[in-house]
Amino acid sequence: MINSLTSVARPLIRGLEFIAPLAELGIRLWAAKFFWDSALTKVSLGGGFPFIHMNPSTIMLFTYEYQVPILAPEVAAYLGTATEFVFPVLLAFGLGGRLAAAVLFVFNIVAVISYPGLEEAGIVQHQLYGTLLLLPLLRGPGKISIDHFIRRKWLV
């Protein structure tokens, strides 16, 4: 009985272990896209240098809607947007994957706390992305990442 169970379980476990890196990559990309898309809504492209401009509506939202503690609204708008542009890229490539996941995890919490008008669907969405970020935060970005390549090439 046990031999027949292990003969069925072993190939199944090997198959799951084979696709696990793809799942880890998919989770990183899904979470990164959420924050990247949010950043894109805060800026407009075009015009003269520097080609990316903060939308006036973003500054207005940070002034009147979001209640970011400690920071001035304009500073919070620029820092928040920069965070949503930089750290999702790092997370997607798995470069400093745990750091990127940690920053976005805390950023996600601050976003929920700072926006008292967030409705139930928005809270559920932030809970989902916070949960997804726990995987790279706690386990690392996985085998399909720059971190893994660096670790294998120079640290082991």
End-to-end CA distance of the chain: 41
Cα 55 to Cα 69: distance, rounded to the nearest angstrom:
21
Encode the chain (156 residues) as per-residue pLDDT tens digits.
788 888 888 999 999 999 999 999 999 999 999 999 999 999 998 777 777 889 999 999 999 998 888 899 999 999 999 999 999 999 999 999 999 999 999 999 999 999 888 899 999 999 999 999 999 999 999 999 999 999 999 987
pTM for the model: 0.89
Q: Are strands 43-45 and 52-54 parallel, antiparallel or unpaired?
A: antiparallel
